[in-house]
Copies of this chain bind each other. A is one copy, B any other.
Amino acid sequence: MAQRHLDPTDPTAGAVTGDALAAYLRAQATEFLRALRLHRETGGGAASGAEGSVDAARALRRSARRVSGSLHTFRPLLDPAWSEEIRPELAWLSGTLGLEHAYEARLERLLLALHRLSGTALFPAQAAQAEADGAPRAATAATENGGGPARTAVPERGNLTVGAAKAGALLERQLTLARTRAHSTALQALGSARFHAVADKVAVLASEVPLTPAAPGTGLRPLAAAAEERLTDAVTALPLLTAGHPYNAEALVHGLSADPSPHPQDGPWHQVRLLLRLHRYAREVLNGGDAPADGRLLAAGRALNRHRDASEAAGAAAQAARTPRIAPATAYALGVLHADQRHEVEAARFAFQQAWQLQTVDAP
């Protein structure tokens, strides 16, 4: 916490050096250990989806991502052997822990979309969430329903057509299976020797950061600026002109293509999402962990999260449609659902373009 006395909102407040990086990494390592303790106390996820355990896993991933991202951005200031050893392990960990939640969220997104497409109501908490995410989509349905649980609630399937109901049941079966497998994998991972080795390394990091000898006197700003430059370069390469024209229909161009692989056009957007995250973490490091909230950066990040989620949900709908021996009505509903999620992808790109346009580039 050595750098906390710097005014975090004043970019001219003198040099921020490797000491600030060390403080940030120590703080994140401490967060990681606290989340790990919490995770063990709440039963370590023995019961899938238990509230405390879910929060703990999220906190674990959160700090793992921050440590890993900072090691990447400020690589020259850290012992390279140590850094190259721990980074892939942290990536493995947050990837493994994130999968269960991703499948759960994907299923919820697809079932909500099926209900929206059927003109049936959804739960207000979910509608409110959708609106908070910048999606005006659920607006009309939001006021129609009186109450209902928020987190684990899956919309009831009363008023769906046969096709939509069957499509929902098929997706529920496939994604629940995937989620259950991801849950077991995560449990195994948390009990593995590999995980204990990571946890030990993070425990050491909480007290002692392996900086290079020159690091304490080296400024962080050039490295943070390089991270931001990688972000702006990647954004410049995006087709933002097209994205800024509503209803450009780009996102569905390969909606019926014979190629079953993920949309190649989504790749650059996913990449920008990761670079935006690295830029955000670098800002946190420079500001002693308390980066002032940048609304536009947040909006851009939210749009890219929505882009990723919709892209993967569209893929799941297309994938489900390849299940052998499904009824034509089911396949039809999955086709509508796929196209709907691809339009969500397009809508997210539009939202990103709008947010980015407003963005004044603030040099870190």
Binding site for B on A (CB under 8 A): 114, 116-119, 136-137, 139-140, 159-161, 163-164, 245-250, 252-258, 321, 326-340, 343-344, 346-347, 350
Contacts and interface: CB of A to CB of B under 8 A. Distances in A.
Contacts of A329: 321, 331
Identify whether the interface residues of A are mostly helix, strand, loop, or mixed. helix
Given A117-B256, A246-B247, A336 B338 contact: yes
B256 A333 contact: yes
Nearest to A246: B246
A363 to B, nearest CB: 32
B117 A164 contact: no
A326 B347 CA distance: 32
B114 A256 contact: yes
B136 A258 contact: no
Contacts of A245: 136
Nearest to A249: B137
B328 A253 contact: no
Contacts of A163: 256
B333 A336 contact: no
A343 B249 contact: yes
Nearest to A245: B136
A257 B161 contact: yes
Nearest to A244: B246
8 contacts: A114-B256, A160-B256, A160-B258, A247-B347, A321-B332, A326-B328, A334-B335, A336-B339
B161 A258 contact: yes
B328 A116 contact: no
A50 B320 CA distance: 46
Contacts of A118: 254, 256-258
A338 B163 CA distance: 14
Nearest to A326: B328
Nearest 3 CB-CB pairs, A to B? Answer: A335-B335, A246-B246, A339-B339
A329 B160 CA distance: 21
Contacts of A350: 246-247
A116 B346 contact: no
A253 B119 contact: yes
Contacts of A333: 256, 335
Contacts of A255: 117, 336, 340
A256 B346 CA distance: 21
Given A118-B256, A118-B258, 19 more contacts: A114-B256, A116-B252, A117-B253, A117-B255, A136-B245, A161-B256, A246-B247, A246-B350, A255-B336, A321-B332, A326-B328, A328-B328, A328-B331, A331-B332, A332-B332, A332-B334, A332-B335, A332-B338, A343-B343
